[in-house]
C-alpha cells in the first residue's frame, strides 16, 4: 500500500483556485450592461415596479367599468325552498284548553322559481354610474402615464449623473497623472535645491487629495448605478455602462420654444379635468334621485300545496307573471337639497382651483425653459473656457519650472482647467435633464 504525499503548498493552491473561481463567477454575475439614454427610459417605463403597480390599479378600474356596464342587464335569480310543518297547537279558551291538528292539506311545503327584473327608467342613475366608472378608469390611465413619465425623468437624472461621474472620474485620473508628473519635477527641483520642502510636501498632499477625490467619485458612481438599477428593476449587481456620452459633446439642442405655445396638457391638469367631470357626474346622480324608477318584472315558479284556492288543495301547481314596477323616493325632495348645494359649491371651487393649478404648471414650464436656455449658454461658455484654461495651465507650468511662478499659481491653474472641463460635462447633463423636465411638465414624457 502506497502513501500519497501531498505537498505543503497544495492547500494554498486549492484555496487560491477556489477564490479565483469565486471572483470569476462574481464577475460573470455582474456583467456590464451598455445602455443608451433612450433604452434606459424605455426599460424604466416598462419594467419599473411602481409602473407595474399602477397598471394593476388601471386593470382593476377597467374591470369595475365593465361591471358598471353589466349592471344594465336584467337581474335574474333562482330560489328553492322545502318546509316541513309541525302540528298546529290551537287554544280554545285562552291558553288553558289546547289541542293539535295537522296542517292542511299537507305538512309539506315546496317553493321553487325564478325571478327577473329589468330597469326601464331610473332617472339616468345607471348611465351616471357607467360614466363615473369610465372617468375613474381614465384617471387611473393618467396616473399610470404620469408615473411612467416621472420614472422616466428620474431615470434621465440618474443616467446623466452616471455620465457626469464617469467623466469626472476620467478628468480626475488625468489630473492625478499631471500631479504625479508635477511631483516628480518638484522632487528633482528640490534635490537640486531650487525649491523648498514646502512645495514638495504640498505637491504630495495635493496628489493624495486627488486620489481621495477619485475614490469619492467612484463611490458616488456606484450609488448612482444602484439607484438606476432600482428604477429599471434590474439586479443590484448590474453594472450599467452609459453608451452615448459622446452625444453630449455635439452641442445638439432641442426645439423647446413651440412647447410654450402648445395647450397645457400636464398630467396634473389632465387628472384635475377628469375630477371635475366626476363631480359634474355626481351632481347628475343627485338630480336623478328626484325621478321615479320603472322596472319590468317577471317570475315563474313551481309550488306545493295549492294555497291559491280555498280550501287549500294538496297538489302541485306552477304559475308566472309579468308586470311593471315603479316607485319614487319622496324623501329625496328634502334630503337631496343640501347635497345638491354642497356638490355645486365643490364644483365651483374646483373650477377656481383648476386655474390656480394651470398657473402653477405654466410657471414650472417657463422655469424649465429658462433653465434649459441657461444650460445652453453654459455649454458655449464652458467650451470657450476649456482652451483658455489649458493654455493658462501650460504657461503657468512652464513659469513654475523656470521659477517665475509660485506653486499656488500652478495648482490654481490645474484646478481651473479641471473645473472648466467639468463645467462642460455638467452643462451638457443639465441641458438633457431640463429638456426632459420640460417634456414631463407638458405631459409629453
Residue 317 pairs in a beta bridge with: 303
Question: What is the reported pLDDT for 263?
Answer: 60
Question: What is the reported pLDDT for 261?
Answer: 57
SS3 408: helix
Whether residue 383 is predicted with pLDDT greater than 70 in this model: the reply is yes
* List of residues 6+ apart from 191 with CB closer than 8 A: none
How many Å is the maximal CA-CA distance in the chain? 139
pLDDT band at 265 (very low <50, low <70, confident <90, very high): confident
Residue 28 pairs in a beta bridge with: none
Q: How far apart are CA 145 and CA 271, in angstroms?
A: 11
Max mean pLDDT among 53-62, 67-76, 301-310 falls in 53-62
Q: Is the peptide bond before 223 cis (omega within 30 degrees of 0)?
A: no
SS3 90: strand
Question: What is the reported pLDDT for 66?
Answer: 92
Q: How far apart are CA 81 and CA 214, in angstroms?
A: 84
Question: What is the reported pLDDT for 348?
Answer: 92
Question: What is the reported pLDDT for 24?
Answer: 41
Whether residue 352 is predicted with pLDDT greater than 80 in this model: the reply is yes
Average pLDDT, integer, range 334-353: 89
Whether residue 10 is predicted with pLDDT greater than 70 in this model: the reply is no
**Do the beta carbons of residue 105 and residue 312 sit within 8 Å?**
yes
Question: What is the reported pLDDT for 133?
Answer: 92
Average pLDDT, integer, range 374-389: 89
Question: What is the reported pLDDT for 30?
Answer: 58
Average pLDDT, integer, range 7-36: 52
Residue 437 or 24, more confident: 437
Average pLDDT, the chain: 84
pLDDT band at 308 (very low <50, low <70, confident <90, very high): confident
236-262: per-residue pLDDT in tens?
888 999 886 544 544 454 555 565 556
Q: Which of the 8 DSSP states describes residue 87?
A: P
Question: What is the reported pLDDT for 245?
Answer: 52
Average pLDDT, integer, range 330-349: 87
400-425: per-residue pLDDT in tens?
888 888 888 889 999 999 999 999 98
Short-list 253, 249, 222, 251, CA closest to 238: 222
Whether residue 142 is predicted with pLDDT greater than 60 in this model: the reply is yes
Whether residue 12 is predicted with pLDDT greater than 60 in this model: the reply is no
Q: What percent of the chain has pLDDT over 90?
A: 35
Whether residue 228 is predicted with pLDDT greater than 70 in this model: the reply is yes
175-219: per-residue pLDDT in tens?
899 999 889 988 988 888 888 888 889 989 999 999 999 999 999
Whether residue 229 is predicted with pLDDT greater than 90 in this model: the reply is yes
Whether residue 155 is predicted with pLDDT greater than 80 in this model: the reply is yes
Q: Which of 24-33, 228-237, 315-324, 417-426 has the lowest mean pLDDT?
A: 24-33
The region, left, alpha or beta by phi > 0 then psi within -120 to 50, assigned to residue 266 is beta
Short-list 289, 285, 284, 297, CA closest to 328: 289
Question: What is the reported pLDDT for 275?
Answer: 93
* List of residues 6+ apart from 259 with CB closer than 8 A: 365, 369, 438, 442, 444
Average pLDDT, integer, range 143-149: 93
Amino acid at each position: 500500500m502506497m502513501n500519497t504525499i501531498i505537498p505543503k503548498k497544495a492547500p494554498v493552491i486549492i484555496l487560491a483556485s477556489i477564490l479565483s473561481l469565486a471572483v470569476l463567477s462574481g464577475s460573470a454575475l455582474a456583467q456590464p450592461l451598455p445602455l443608451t439614454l433612450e433604452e434606459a427610459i424605455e426599460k424604466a417605463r416598462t419594467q419599473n415596479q411602481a409602473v407595474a403597480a399602477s397598471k394593476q390599479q388601471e386593470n382593476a378600474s377597467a374591470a369595475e367599468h365593465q361591471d358598471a356596464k353589466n349592471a344594465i342587464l336584467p337581474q335574474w335569480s333562482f330560489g328553492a325552498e322545502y318546509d316541513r310543518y309541525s302540528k298546529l297547537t290551537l287554544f280554545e279558551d285562552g291558553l288553558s284548553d289546547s289541542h293539535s291538528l295537522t296542517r292542511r292539506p299537507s305538512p309539506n311545503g315546496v317553493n321553487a322559481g325564478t325571478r327577473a327584473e329589468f330597469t326601464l327608467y331610473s332617472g339616468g342613475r345607471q348611465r351616471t354610474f357607467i360614466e363615473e366608472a369610465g372617468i375613474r378608469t381614465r384617471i387611473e390611465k393618467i396616473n399610470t402615464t404620469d408615473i411612467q413619465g416621472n420614472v422616466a425623468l428620474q431615470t434621465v437624472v440618474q443616467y446623466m449623473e452616471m455620465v457626469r461621474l464617469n467623466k469626472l472620474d476620467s478628468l480626475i485620473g488625468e489630473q492625478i497623472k499631471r500631479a504625479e508628473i508635477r511631483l516628480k519635477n518638484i522632487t528633482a527641483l528640490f534635490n537640486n535645491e531650487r525649491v523648498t520642502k514646502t512645495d514638495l510636501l504640498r505637491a504630495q498632499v495635493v496628489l493624495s487629495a486627488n486620489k481621495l477625490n477619485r475614490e469619492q467619485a467612484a463611490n458616488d458612481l456606484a450609488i448612482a448605478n444602484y439607484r438606476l438599477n432600482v428604477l429599471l428593476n434590474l439586479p443590484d449587481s448590474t453594472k450599467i455602462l452609459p453608451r452615448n456620452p459622446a452625444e453630449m459633446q455635439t452641442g445638439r439642442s432641442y426645439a423647446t420654444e413651440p412647447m410654450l405655445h402648445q395647450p397645457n396638457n400636464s398630467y396634473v391638469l389632465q387628472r384635475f379635468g377628469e375630477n371635475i367631470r366626476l363631480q359634474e357626474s355626481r351632481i347628475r346622480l343627485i338630480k336623478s334621485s328626484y325621478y321615479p324608477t320603472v322596472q319590468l318584472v317577471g317570475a315563474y315558479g313551481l309550488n306545493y300545496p295549492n294555497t291559491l284556492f280555498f280550501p287549500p288543495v294538496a297538489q302541485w301547481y306552477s304559475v308566472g307573471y309579468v308586470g311593471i314596477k315603479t316607485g319614487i323616493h319622496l324623501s329625496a325632495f328634502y334630503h337631496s337639497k343640501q347635497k345638491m348645494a354642497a356638490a355645486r359649491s365643490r364644483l365651483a371651487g374646483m373650477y377656481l382651483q383648476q386655474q390656480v393649478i394651470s398657473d402653477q404648471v405654466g410657471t414650472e414650464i417657463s422655469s424649465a425653459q429658462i433653465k434649459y436656455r441657461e444650460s445652453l449658454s453654459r455649454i458655449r461658455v464652458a467650451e470657450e473656457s476649456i482652451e483658455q484654461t489649458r493654455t493658462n495651465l501650460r504657461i503657468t507650468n512652464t513659469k513654475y519650472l523656470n521659477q517665475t511662478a509660485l506653486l499656488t499659481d500652478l495648482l490654481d491653474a490645474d484646478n481651473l482647467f479641471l473645473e472648466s472641463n467639468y463645467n462642460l460635462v455638467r452643462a451638457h447633463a443639465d441641458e438633457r435633464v431640463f429638456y426632459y423636465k420640460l417634456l414631463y411638465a407638458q405631459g409629453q414624457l
